[in-house]
Amino acid sequence: MQESESFEITTDQDIMRARMRTRQMARQAGLAILDQARISMAMSVLAQTLELGKINNGTISICILDNDSRRGLEVDCITKGEFAIDSIMAKLRFEEWRQMVDDIIVRFVSPEDLQVTLVKLNS
C-alpha cells in the first residue's frame, strides 16, 4: 500500500506544512538525509515558482512509492491559472532541478490546471 497525503495551498504556511511533511515522508520512504532535504526543498521552491499561496491556489500531494521497481517519493503540485508552458519551463530551469530530483514531469491535466510532478528515488 502506498501512503499519500494532500495539502490545499492558499498561504505560505500551507507550503511550510507540506514541506515538513514531505521531509517526514521522505524519511519514511528510506531516502538518505541529503535526498530528504533535496526533495523537500525542491517541493518548496516549486510551490514558490508556481506562486502557490500568493497569486494561485493549488494542491500539493505527496506519495511514498513502494513497489518492486521503485522506492522513493513522488510530489505533485497542481495549480489553477492561465499558464504559458514556455514561461513555466523557463522558470523551472531544469538543469538546476536535476541536482535535487530524479524526474520532473510537467503537464496540463485540464486547460486551467497545471501539474508538475517531482520524483526522488531511493539510491
pLDDT computed for residue 26 by the predictor: 97
C-beta separation of 25 from 5 below 8 A: yes
Instruction: Write down the pLDDT at residue 75.
Output: 97
- The sheet with strand 113-121 has its strands ordered as 4-9, 58-66, 71-80, 113-121, 103-108
Task: State the pLDDT at residue 93.
Answer: 65
pLDDT (0 to 100) of residue 82: 64
CATH number of the domain bearing residue 17: 3.30.565.10
Q: pLDDT for 89-110, tens place per residue?
A: 666 666 676 788 999 888 888 8
Which of 55-64, 67-76, 80-89 comes out lowest in average pLDDT? 80-89
The DSSP string of 3-71 is -EEEEEESSHHHHHHHHHHHHHHHHHTT--HHHHHHHHHHHHHHHHHTTBTTTB-EEEEEEEEESSS-E
Return the pLDDT at 87.
64
The model's pTM: 0.87
pLDDT value of residue 50? 84
**Structural domains of the chain, count:** 1
In 3D space, the residue among 43, 39, 38 whose CA is nearest the CA of residue 58 turns out to be 43
Is the model's pLDDT at 1 over the cut of 60?
Answer: no
Indicate if the pLDDT at residue 113 is higher than 90: no
- Per-residue exposure over 88-121, b if at least 16 CB sit within 10 Å of its own CB, e if not: eeeebeeeebeebbbebeeeeeeeeebbbbbbbb
Give the integer Cα–Cα distance in Å for 51 and 8: 14
| 4 confidence band (pLDDT: 50, 70, 90) | very high
Placement of cell 500568493 in the chain: 54
Domain interval for residue 49: 4-121
